[in-house]
A and B are shown apart, each in its own frame.
Chain A
Amino acid sequence: MLRDITIGQYYPTESVIHRLDPRTKFLGTIIFVVSLFLFKSFWGFLLTGGFLVCLTVLAHIPFKYVLKGMRPMLFLLLFMMIFTLLMTPGEVLGEWWIFTVTKEGIYAALFMGLRLTMLVLGSSLMTYTTTPNKLTAGMESVFGFLKIFKVPVHELAMMISIALRFIPILLEETNKIIKAQQARGADFESGGPVKRAKAMVPILIPLFVSSFRRAGELAEAMEARCYHGGEGRTKMKPLKYAKRDLVAYLCLIGLIVGCIFIP
């Protein structure tokens, strides 16, 4: 079911990673992603992979749940790996029809697969451990300097946080509309591509209409609660660095330095 999509959703539990400042987690994710591309040997994967495992354990998130988040990415991942495998020139190991497998290709595909997997796992770890509100507060603060260039940072952050909250609600709504149309005999499974595309109309129109209605009602509710943009707004949970954030930054620096100097 659509409900099973776990990527990008908050996993409520108590842990030191959950308590970290969202800016630390946001910048930390960027540092982690950068360090993934700094090394050239398997030792690097051992280091970054170990780092990731430690984080997951510290965050009290079951490995099963984390891996499930990978599922929607699996197809893309496999596709890119196969593409790399077949397209890298080098020492030929085997040939079949127009495909050539090279030693370099195997390495490159493996590296790429591992890097992408860790990239996705690393960044979903951020969303698992940070509520949408905190995450956007963190992003708002990290990108705050853009305000000088008239970028509506607060508004964008608010939009993202609301979008995240409404993902499960809209998925449920879609599910309901699909079922309602199925109850009216609609068939979404058979027929060619044109027929299938046409079959989407009875789902998409009600979905658009209801999203607009929801958006309107939400805007009204926000306005009724005195929302008027970021100006003069205080914060219930202002961002404050603690000692653990310092420790986290030190670890991250350790990681990136390690990745640069690893043989």
Chain B
Amino acid sequence: MVNFDKVTFEYIRRDEEGNVESINKALNEVDLDVKKGDFIAILGANGSGKSTLARHINALLTPTEGTVFISEMDTKEEKNLLKIRQKTGMVFQNPDNQIIAGLVEEDVGFGPENIGVPTKEIWERVAFALEKVGMTAYREKSPNNLSGGQKQRVAIAGILAMKPECIVLDEPTAMLDPKGRREVIETITELNKKEGITIILITHYMTEVVGADKVYVMSEGNIKMFGTPRQIFKEVERLKKYKLDVPQVTEIAYRLRQNGLNIPECILTVDEFMQCVTG
């Protein structure tokens, strides 16, 4: 569904005369292959290129070199643009800066309006999308009075209403409190399981990643590690080198094992830990 073929992206800075001052490779020959229905997590320090990568999936940015294919469509081709953006929706970090309309339902309807969905169907889609994220009760409210977690769910509904195959979320929980974080993660997990929507989640919170099918670790514009959460979180020291971390319970298990206790190699959740020790 999402294919990156040796994608390089350069931010070029020019001085006042237009001469090139510096070139910053935000992405460096990145290969990525995401299958339909996957739940993918991308980890990486600030400035590692995660957000640049995310913006390529939605064709907000196009590669300097290499090609990005979304369902076999090249993102560089102008004629594919709307189709690509309809297929791969995007949720951003700041909930305030992505809600366009003054009413929840009107905001959810914004995307379908843009792609020319007939009026009657827009209403059906809005009702469906709000239902899926559990925000039906707020449909006629102003977004300004919602909590951060609720705003992000509205943003997700806005994308759902476009019937996407894939949702890319760029640090959607960075500005939320624990409850808001939980709401958002539960919502996207359910969309992935029940609706079969491909999820690409970019985050700094390690505990949000344990449910993913695959985890990619980025550093300096490259994908450095890739595998199941269990394969990734096994390498505690290496992750720390990339300015990342592992969930606390994983680290405890890792250190107990190092001290010779008989604990399986990679524990991801408290439940798993309990199962191992109680049998």
Contacts and interface: CB of A to CB of B under 8 A. Distances in A.
B116 A218 contact: no
Interface stretch (B84-92, B184-192, B244-252): B84-92
23 contacts: A12-B140, A131-B103, A131-B106, A132-B102, A133-B101, A133-B106, A161-B101, A162-B100, A168-B144, A217-B98, A218-B97, A220-B92, A221-B92, A221-B98, A222-B110, A223-B85, A224-B85, A226-B86, A226-B115, A227-B110, A234-B117, A236-B113, A237-B106
Interface in B93-144: 94, 96-103, 105-106, 109-119, 122-123, 126, 140-142, 144
A233 interface: yes
Contacts of B106: 131, 133, 236-237
B276 interface: no
A164 B99 CA distance: 13
B60 A223 contact: yes
Contacts of A235: 113, 119
B152 interface: no
Contacts of B118: 234
Contacts of B85: 223-226
B142 A225 contact: no
B102 A226 contact: no
Contacts of B119: 234-238
A131 to B, nearest CB: 5
Interface residues of B, number: 41
A162 B110 CA distance: 13
A62 interface: no
Interface string B139-181: 0111010000000000000110010000000000000000000
Contact of A221 (B100, B116, B122): B100
Interface of A: 10, 12, 131-133, 161-162, 164-165, 168-169, 214, 217-218, 220-228, 232-238
A2 to B, nearest CB: 14
Given A169-B144, A224-B85, A225-B114, A217 B100 contact: no
B102 A224 contact: no
B58 interface: yes
B100 A222 contact: yes
Listed residue (B86, B109, B113, B122) with the most chain A CB atoms within 10 angstroms of its CB: B113
Contacts of B162: 225-226
B60 to A, nearest CB: 6
B256 interface: no
B107 to A, nearest CB: 9
A162 to B, nearest CB: 7
B82 interface: yes
B98 to A, nearest CB: 4
Given A214-B97, A228-B114, A236-B126, 14 more contacts: A12-B140, A133-B101, A161-B102, A218-B97, A220-B55, A221-B98, A224-B89, A224-B90, A226-B114, A233-B113, A234-B122, A235-B119, A237-B106, A238-B119
Given A165-B102, A220-B60, A225-B89, A236 B122 contact: yes
Interface string B188-224: 0000000000000000000000000000000000000
7 smallest A-B Cβ distances: which pairs? Answer: A236-B109, A221-B98, A217-B97, A226-B114, A225-B111, A224-B90, A236-B122
Nearest to A165: B102
B105 to A, nearest CB: 8
A86 B140 CA distance: 50
B162 to A, nearest CB: 7
Nearest to B159: A225
Contacts of B60: 220, 223-224
Nearest to A227: B114
A133 B102 contact: yes
A153 B146 CA distance: 31
A130 to B, nearest CB: 10
A225 to B, nearest CB: 4
A87 B48 CA distance: 69
Contacts of A165: 99-102
Nearest to A168: B144
A225 B87 CA distance: 10
Nearest to B121: A234
A221 B144 contact: no
A49 B182 CA distance: 53
Contacts of B111: 225-226
A220 to B, nearest CB: 6
A34 to B, nearest CB: 28
B117 A217 contact: no
